[in-house]
Amino acid sequence: MIELRNVSQRFAGPGGSVEALKGIDLTIPPGEIFGIIGRSGAGKSTLVRTINLLARPSEGEVVVAGRALTGLPPAQLREARREIGMIFQHFNLLSSRTVYENVALPLELAGMKRHAIDAVVSPLLELVGLSAQRQRYPAQISGGQKQRVGIARALASKPKVLLSDEATSALDPETTRSILQLLKRINRELGLTVVLITHQMEVIKEVCDRVAVLDAGRIVEAGAVVDVFLQPRHDVTRALLGDVIAHELPAAVKARVAKHLETGAGQLLRLAFAGGSVDKPVLSEAIRRYALDVNILHGQIDEIQGRAFGSLAVLADGEPGQLGDALAYLRAQGVVVEALAHV
Ligand SMILES: Nc1ncnc2c1ncn2[C@@H]1O[C@H](COP(=O)(O)OP(=O)(O)OP(=O)(O)O)[C@@H](O)[C@H]1O
Ligand SMILES: [Mg+2]
């Protein structure tokens, strides 16, 4: 659905040029909710603005729904852009227009007749749950409701793709969840491809099918959300995951474990489980079979999009051969086992 091929973006800055994107290759399958996460300044907004060519890349190609946008003449580009809706952190609503009029705006600008506009806008307000607020002005509704207006307005031109740049960053956690659930519903019911930019792993965990991690203008890691959560490969990913999964042991636990490891007893492991292996008693089975001593230091069981997910830090001890066999057994059961060399 969306393909970026070797996309780079350079900006002229006071101290020379800034390379905001460096050789980005990215394929976003149709019908998915695709998350792009990164720290501040990583290039997320630049990347999302490149997808609809609000920012033309210095190099590379952008293909959306089979069309290379980078090669289109202006009139055709304008047409192609109608297939890409966008929502923003600060909503970008017109304060002098009602909820209804804000959603109707892109259709008015496209020259649509009043009754045809109503046939589009009213169902959209229903979809986002704002039928009762249609005559209110932006100042008279909450932040979550404003974002619902933003979503309805983005959907008015019946796009195939919805781009979201930190659309929930200005909202409290509960409102964030309700907006994410709305995006998920739209994704499933309308078959819309959603590209979701965020700096919060919580957002990725809640709704995304796949995720790409952006750092200093490069994609450093990408994959199915469950896989990335199970086995993050890049330091930036681990740091971002720190908000959702505790990769770091609490200080008190560290001190205790350090003493233990000095004596050479045991091995510090991180075990990550997903799907089936969460429900099966694989750990207790391993303990029984291989006569291990296992001390659970830290951990959590959570859900990623309705699928169980667990992460445990344990100190395991046993006969050397037995311990190795136990780890092989756990891996065979679908548990990701990572030996932590130090605390
Ligand atoms: N129009 C511009 N001119 C010059 N430099 C720019 C421009 N837009 C972005 N940059 C630079 O490109 C880099 C990436 O910026 P970008 O806004 O894409 O980051 P971001 O990941 O969206 O950050 P945030 O999470 O803070 O929104 C930054 O170093 C920024 O200063
Ligand atoms: Mg940004």
Q: Which of the residue ranges 187-191, 230-234, 272-276 has the most confident prediction, judged by mean pLDDT?
A: 187-191
Q: Assess contact for 327 and 290: CB atoms under 8 A.
A: no
Q: What is the mean pLDDT of residues 63-67?
A: 92
Pocket lining: 217 vs ligand 1, CB cutoff 6 Å: no
pLDDT above 90 (res 19)? yes
Counting atoms of ligand 1 from 1, which one is nearest the CA of 48? 18
Same domain for 35 and 156, yes or no, is yes
Q: Assess contact for 252 and 288: CB atoms under 8 A.
A: no
Domain limits at 34? Answer: 2-241
pLDDT above 80 (res 317)? yes
pLDDT at residue 152, rounded to an integer = 97
pLDDT above 80 (res 64)? yes
Same domain for 190 and 98, yes or no, is yes
DSSP letter, residue 214: E
Calculate how far, in angstroms, residue 233's C-alpha sits from the geometric centre of ligand 2: 24
* Count of domains forming the chain: 2
Distance, CA of 257 to CA of 165 (rounded, Å) = 42
Pocket lining: 17 vs ligand 1, CB cutoff 6 Å: no
Distance, CA of 257 to CA of 323 (rounded, Å) = 18
pLDDT above 70 (res 200)? yes
Pocket lining: 55 vs ligand 1, CB cutoff 6 Å: no
State whether residue 303 is helix, strand or coil.
strand
Same domain for 160 and 270, yes or no, is no
Give which of 155, 135, 146 is closest to 175, Cα–Cα.
146
**Domain annotation covers residue 246:** no
Q: Give the pLDDT band of residue 299 (cuts 50, 70, 90).
A: confident
Same domain for 269 and 218, yes or no, is no
The residue ranking higher by pLDDT, 222 or 300, is 222
DSSP string, 134-147: TT--GGGS-HHHHH
CATH number at residue 318: 3.30.70.260
Same domain for 49 and 189, yes or no, is yes
Give which of 118, 92, 91, 87 is closest to 104, Cα–Cα.
118
Counting atoms of ligand 1 from 1, which one is nearest the CA of 13? 4
State whether residue 208 is helix, strand or coil.
coil
For residue 285, what are the CA distances in angstroms to 113, 159, 282, 309? 68, 51, 5, 19
pLDDT at residue 16, rounded to an integer = 87
Pocket lining: 43 vs ligand 1, CB cutoff 6 Å: yes
Mean pLDDT of all residues in the chain? Answer: 91
Q: Assess contact for 161 and 193: CB atoms under 8 A.
A: yes
CATH number at residue 137: 3.40.50.300
pLDDT at residue 89, rounded to an integer = 92
Pocket lining: 44 vs ligand 1, CB cutoff 6 Å: yes
Same domain for 53 and 183, yes or no, is yes
